[in-house]
Structure 1
Amino acid sequence: MRKVNRPVPTSAPRLEVRNMSRRIGDVTVVDDVSLEIAPGQVTCLLGPSGCGKSTTLRMIAGVEMQDRGEIYVDGELVCDTVTRVPPERREIGLMFQDFALFPHLTVAGNVGFGLRGSRADTDARVGELLDKVSLTHLSQAYPHELSGGEQQRVALARALAPRPKVMLMDEPFSGLDNRLRDGIRDDTLAVLKEEGASVLLVTHEPEEAMRMADEIALMRDGRIVQKGAPYNIYNSPVDRNAVAFFSDVNVVRAVTRGALAETPFGEFLSPGMPDGTEVEIVFRPQHVRIDFDRQGRGPSPTITDGVAARAVVRRARFMGSESLVDFRLDAGTDIRALVPNVFLPAEGTVFWLTIPRNRCHIFRA
């Protein structure tokens, strides 16, 4: 292995991935991916199934080799197309979707597997981690005697036992019951923060990414299309698909004239788009505002909410903590609104809808 003399800057990211790509046959599975994760940071690699998330994780772990690009831990090169530090020497932990516990070992045996050092040091580290994941009382149990949540905590403790600098987690909560998942995610995040490991978590669930991440990297077709804090990713999406990945969306189509797009909700600014450009105004159902019909009239136009559009109820359903109401505008466009609590107007009822301008996103069609 060639030695790489690279000065380590004091502000080096804990994990850095530069321009990493991977082809399988004629398909580019991972395409020019770059990431930086600071010490103690939790980054979620979020995207639909088959977009390249797990392949990215496996290359960082060293289970799979990239065709191009570099991987650094604390500023030190661990892998490019020539240099390759073995997976067990990268100080990177990997937690799989199926937990992969050893069935013939006890909980304590699983957590301590592979630890180096004296028996006393190993026992102390195992005991420390079992206490953190609240499994001390099950130290001598076997995996088949545990619930799914308990197995998940054992897998977490085992991955953390060697004190990795970076923890990679591949859909670790997907096999858990929905009723338990939120609590286990919160407990897992607390343990990870306490251990100080930087985390790269792969998930296809936006809610999970929003709940756990300091930063989200949104991935599509092998590429990272947007990176940022959860608030910024949600509220400043890069395109229509990014909006729709996090929630249902309403779409109103229009054509620009003089940097304006005329819609049933009034005019929308479309700077930089030539006349005749087809655009889409995209907004989420929870941002639709509903007003009553006043003898055939709606609320007056405002700068913040634009023009009210007349709409007729097509269907209303109660979802438990909120209601979904489907409307049809006079122009023929279907609009869905999400309303807190119970709101079940009869089919055919007339309302007027407005959309706050600061909740709308305009994209080329």
Structure 2
Amino acid sequence: MAMGKVFRFVLVSSIAMLLGGAATALPAAGDADRDRQVFVDAMAPHGAARPVVAVLALNEGTEMTDLLLPTAVLRRADVADVVVVAPRAGEVALYPALRVRGAISFEDFARRYPAGASHVVVPAMVDDDDPAVTGWLRQQAASGARVIGVCSGVRVVGRAGLLDGRRFSGHWYDRRTLLERHRGAVHVPDRRYVVDGPVATTTGITASVPAMLALVEALGGPARAAALAGELGVSDWGPSHDSAAFGLDTPRAFHYLVNKAAFWRGETLQVDVADGADEVALALVADAWVRTGHVSLVAVSDAAAVTLRSGLVLASSPPVAGRSRVPRETALPPVRQLDRALCEIGERHGDARRDWVMQEMEYPMPEGGLCGR
């Protein structure tokens, strides 16, 4: 993708973040168990046909975890046909790192699935108002698809005209922008995911974990969701969230702007990949390291590309001798690998930088803390 476009995206996001923390949110209604059941009921299949879940992408830039995690979890669950769909077939550039192939075009999707999608998952994108993307999303919603905006993908959902008058969640830095853009929209705090009619929304990047498990529960039942939760290393996929823990005070704002202004990276790390690699752990760990602001990241293997566990093809490069590798403990479940990466980040770059990464990913501190402390 063009570096100028990425820089403009980063600058606009920076300004939005600085403003977003000041917005006032209305209190959430009801308890978390009820809200989870409301989500499950709203996302349940219509009719006997096998559901079709489209994970929407913009070829020029789609958030890495927002795309890879839903695709991987839903394909692993085997409760729906899951396709990545973009304006053009082929490669999707991911940010803050990596590139994958395997998207089908809107035209190919229409030929394969003339009835349209039952659900559309919308990740964050470098352009939240691409006409082809928003037009296709609007068309799918009009045909009856349920829509799930993940993280700043909620901005794309809004641009498609699907947020006006609705209760919503979203990454904390988008709050003010969304309230200003969408007449009658109401932000709901303290919920990792919220549903209002056929439109669901989530908080920041890591909210894709509980939201996709809740979608698996809706499509395949609680036992299937519980089995996948165990694989991922989480015990609960309810919507409870402490919104007050996330936002920009002055020190955080300073760290954020310094990180984003440093579009150069002080170090390039390589992450080893192979056929069958678990993209959930890969995405979470890679996202965390690059968001330190200190590193860029390259996937390496002896082949030019590897096929991930989900079937998506990840572009890779030959390893470079002497270049540091991303520390990984692949024996751990994926979310626990994220915890380990955050510990490594804290040891290498300090707790303040680690905490900032958790802010960007909107990742709550695990019970008992990180690293056994």
**What range is the shorter-chain TM-score in?**
under 0.3
- TM-score of the superposition, structure 1-length normalised? 0.25
Point out the structure with max Rg over C-alpha: 1
Question: Relative to total residues, which structure has the larger helix share, 1 or 2?
Answer: 2
TM, length-normalised to structure 2 = 0.24
Q: Quick check: which one's strand share is greater?
A: 1
